[in-house]
Amino acid sequence: MLLKTNYSMLTDFYEFTMSNGYLEQGVGDTVAYFDMFFRKVPDGGGYAIMAGVEQLVSYLKNLSFAEEDIEYLRSKNCFSERFLDYIKNFRFECDVWAVPEGSPIFPGEPIVTVRGPVMQAQFIETMLLLTINHQSLIATKASRMVRAAQGRTVLEFGSRRAQGADGAVLGARAAYIGGCAGTACVLCDRDYSVPAAGTMAHSWVQMFECEYDAFRAYAETYPQDCTLLIDTYNVLKSGLPNAIRTAREVLEPRGCRLKGVRIDSGDMAYLSKQIRKVLDENGLKDCKIVVSNSLDEFLIRDLILQGAQIDTFGIGERLITSRSEPVFGGVYKLAAIENGKGDIIPRIKISENVEKITNPHFKKVWRLMDNETGQYLADVLTLHDEVIDGSQPYTIFDPDHTWKKKTLSNFTAIPLLEPVFEKGRCVYTPRDVHEIRASCQDKLSHLWAEITRFENPHPYYVDLSQKLWDVKNSLLQKFN
């Protein structure tokens, strides 16, 4: 299977140089805490969608090095034999926590936390970021497009425009988690059970002497699932009349119905309205209209506002590459270390860019949900040993503008980070992708509409507990 490749060597070179250096300096076994988080939502949106955890688990379970890897590293003449021996006998020993796939996530909060020997916790940075960044990006983009479609079906059609094989397959998986109903990618269906579907290309129509012959041949081959591509020559003068003729002469005598017609070009608002009118006049009110061709959430929204009669949107390159903003800016930063006595020593990164200042210490992430409305109120980062009790009033405050406070009551505090590995042992329970997708849709329903709008969404609050804010503030004072 394509995606079961051992990706242990897919890493930045400095992960090796740092790990070797840690070992040589006698600190390789120092326990370190790293957080993955992101700083802004793609496309100026109000939320992102967590995805890629299952592939991260697969990577960590298979983390090992072959003899050819050792020889390659030896050839670089910059690694000690002691380090190469360590790599040869490598065994993953870290604890890992992650936000479940399909969960809405927000800037500044840890979505993956790793605790373990710094040599190992540092080394996995590249693949961890690659895996979560990519799929979270596509799942987020898919969610925007699905919301724009307002209940109409959205399909992922992007394999041929994806950036590599993994981008096609895992992108289709992520798009399904984000709300797409299916994909054109067969491998994603085979390996991840994401429903694959497809009909014909223009070449099918061109292969026959005339358009009607092409439609008739397809209908005879697939009478129970016949969708015809009607824009090879002329949608209204040729394609649509021939599709209706095919329904009458080929499908209906067999007791079958024309399932759909698809257009891939032209003015989709105008054409879809004309197509719907003619189909209805010919007793084909149940025939669906499918469109494709460089669509995104804004074009989908505009088509619906213009009264387009579209049932299904097939979206390719602008989804599978997240063309409008093709990078999910997740980062991986050291948050704490342990001294030899097991005490946790917080670490902070300070920057002239305020948004790049990190939140130190080993943390928990809590999602606070209003018990009356069922809506999410805020997320709160706390120290790892703090507990938020929803039965008691709890005051949240803006960590940048601390005078902005609100006391909450009658809420439920939901811990977000779940254990994935314990001391290198996988404790993750695989979830069916359909379950993940359903969970995603349910959790999105708990967000206020003001947060989910496309433009100028209301920011979702990600706050710090008083104890964590005090730790961060003391470090800022110490280093300034």
How confident is the model over 341-378, as pLDDT tens digits? 889 999 999 998 888 999 999 999 999 999 999 999 99
pLDDT over 50 (residue 327): yes
Residue 415 pLDDT: 98
pLDDT over 90 (residue 287): yes
Residue 293 pLDDT: 85
Q: Categorize the per-residue pLDDT at 294 as very low, low, confident or very high, splitting at 50, 70 and 90.
A: confident
Question: How many Cα atoms within 13 Å fall on the side-chain side of residue 107?
Answer: 14
- The model's pLDDT over 166-180, given as tens digits with 9 standing for 90+, comes to 999 999 999 999 999
Whole-number average pLDDT of the chain: 96
Q: Categorize the per-residue pLDDT at 298 as very low, low, confident or very high, splitting at 50, 70 and 90.
A: very high
- Bridge partners (DSSP) listed for residue 104: 49
- The model's pLDDT over 423-437, given as tens digits with 9 standing for 90+, comes to 999 999 999 999 999
Instruction: Please identify which residue in the block is written with the tokens 């015809």.
Output: 228
Measure the CA–CA gap between 36 and 414, rounded to whole angstroms. Answer: 20
Q: Categorize the per-residue pLDDT at 4 as very low, low, confident or very high, splitting at 50, 70 and 90.
A: low
Residue 381 pLDDT: 98
Residue 220 pLDDT: 98
CB atoms within 10 A of CB 333: 18
Residue 376 pLDDT: 98
Q: Is 138 exposed, middle or buried (0-12, 13-18, 19+ CB in 10 A)?
A: buried
Query: Domains in the chain, ordered, with CATH?
Result: 2-138+326-479 (3.20.140.10), 139-320 (3.20.20.70)
pLDDT over 90 (residue 406): yes
Contact predicate 327/43, CB 8 Å? no
Looking at the chain, the number of H-run helices and the number of E-run strands are 17, 21
Q: Categorize the per-residue pLDDT at 2 as very low, low, confident or very high, splitting at 50, 70 and 90.
A: very low
Residue 249 pLDDT: 98
Helix (H) or strand (E) holding 412, with range, is strand 411-415
Sheet containing strand 312-315, edge to edge, reads 182-183, 153-156, 312-315, 288-291, 260-263, 227-229
Measure the CA–CA gap between 464 and 367, rounded to whole angstroms. Answer: 12
pLDDT over 60 (residue 257): yes
pLDDT over 60 (residue 301): yes
Nearest to 195 by CA among 185, 208, 182: 182
Contact predicate 413/389, CB 8 Å? yes
- The model's pLDDT over 102-161, given as tens digits with 9 standing for 90+, comes to 999 999 999 999 999 999 999 999 999 999 999 999 999 999 999 999 999 999 999 999
Q: Categorize the per-residue pLDDT at 3 as very low, low, confident or very high, splitting at 50, 70 and 90.
A: very low
Measure the CA–CA gap between 279 and 285, rounded to whole angstroms. Answer: 6
